[in-house]
Amino acid sequence: MKLQVGLLGGGSWGTTVASLTAKNSKTILWARNQETVDEINNSHTNEKYLPDAKLTHSLQASTSIRETVEEADVIVMGVPAQSFREVLKEAKPHIRPWVPIINLAKGLEISTKKRMTEIIEEIMPGHPAGVLTGPNLAKEIHFGNAAAAVIAMVDKTIASKLQDVFSSGLFRVYTNTDVIGCELGGALKNIIAIASGMGDGADAGDNTRAAIITRGLAELTRLGIAMGGKKQTFYGLAGMGDLVATCSSSQSRNHHVGFELGKGKNLEQIINEMNEVAEGVKTAKVVMELAKKYKVDMPISEQIYKVLYEGSTVNEAFKGLLRYEVGSEKEPG
């Protein structure tokens, strides 16, 4: 039986994933913006978020959440982390019992410090919750470059059914049962990507970027393990894979924020000039609280937090990092 997909969120990643699943299954994409919906239905494009990309013709869009989810066999949540709860609550009355809900967002909720699948479990108890994550820069996937992702769910049987919904010849979807680790990998790497972009913007060089990626992996792994993720997960697609892609790509919005900071622009101006989300900016606040709660050292994230929220300069951030005691390159856990 072909599963029907209801995907909520018409930004660059939501539209990309909907265009992928529409190749395999009937897919309806919900966006709140009527113009976006009309453009997807009539021209099979979403120029605001995916300039020059042609979407799968069978993809339908709707401004009605009810129409999008009421017959869906799987719900995919493609809105940013801070809007996740309100959109899911709006959809809840129309979602059939036991339908799995898959998160695409890479962020943590500021007010509760929760992961998105924790929000799913809170609002929709009884529905299997999972996350699709990995090194997946939307535009490359749209233009047909090969990529790999992970679908993480506690229930292996459901995860392998959903593998077929998301996979295509060029988009290879692996399964994993470590939902916590996969979800945290995606959220935590965004702050490291800001750091890497900041180094690139300040012309710090390739060695600096490599050090940020490697030590960034160590610190996100430390927090991830303390919060219940598995060490192995952070060395896979959801951890190292996504970290490398995001930290080294000018397509990454988080890298872009860092790059502009490195060039000397201020945060407000950078955000005002973007029309897409950079989740790391908000996640940085949550991560500092989590690092304190779990008593984990996160020197790179801490310096980024100081630049974003405490008026630290880029120079001070790099000097701050250099002041940390150089210990042994011990196991992150």
Ligand X SMILES: NC(=O)C1=CN([C@@H]2O[C@H](COP(=O)(O)OP(=O)(O)OC[C@H]3O[C@@H](n4cnc5c(N)ncnc54)[C@H](OP(=O)(O)O)[C@@H]3O)[C@@H](O)[C@H]2O)C=CC1
Ligand Y SMILES: O=C(CO)COP(=O)(O)O
56, with CB counted inside 10 A (0-12, 13-18, 19+), is middle
Helix (H, G, I), strand (E, B) or coil at 332: coil
Residues 170-209 that bind ligand Y (CB under 6 A): 190, 193
CB of 52 to ligand X, least distance (A): 15
Binding residue ranges for NAD(+): 9-14, 138, 253
Residue of 217, 201, 198, 226 lying closest to 292 (CA atoms): 226
Amino acid identity, position 269:
Q
- The entry of ligand Y, ligand X, none near residue 246 (CB within 5 to 8 angstroms by kind) is ligand Y
281 binds ligand X (CB under 6 A): no
Applying the rule CB under 6 A, the residues between 125 and 164 that interact with ligand X are 136-138
63 makes contact, choosing from ligand Y, ligand X, none, with CB < 5 to 8 Å by partner type, with: none
Binding region for ligand X (CB under 6 A) out of 19-27, 72-80, 93-101, 209-217? 72-80
Nearest to 159 by CA among 144, 147, 175: 175
For residues 58 and 26, is the Cβ–Cβ distance under 8 A? yes
Looking at the Cβ atoms of 51 and 228, the one nearer to ligand X is: 51
Which of ligand X, ligand Y, none sits in contact with 78, Cβ below 5 to 8 A by type? Answer: ligand X
Three-state DSSP class for residue 151: strand
189 included as an active-site residue? yes
Residue window 97-126: x/- pattern of binding to ligand Y, with contact defined by CB under 6 A: ---------x--------------------
Question: Would you give the distance in Å from CA 318 to the centre of its chain?
Answer: 26
Residue window 230-269: x/- pattern of binding to ligand Y, with contact defined by CB under 6 A? ------------x--xx-----xxx---------------
CA nearest to 32, candidates 119, 118, 90, 98:
90
Q: What is the rounded CA–CA span in Å between residue 102 and residue 13?
A: 13
Joined together, the tokens standing for residue 112 give: 């509760």
The DSSP 8-state label assigned to residue 92 in this structure reads: G
- Specify whether the backbone of 221 is left (phi greater than 0), alpha (psi in -120 to 50) or beta: alpha
- Partner that binds at residue 32, options ligand Y, ligand X, none, CB closer than 5 to 8 Å by kind: ligand X
Binding residues for ligand X (CB under 6 A):
9-14, 31-33, 49, 78-81, 83, 86-87, 104-107, 136-138, 276-277, 279
Binding residues for ligand Y (CB under 6 A):
106, 135-137, 190, 193, 242, 245-246, 252-254, 278-279
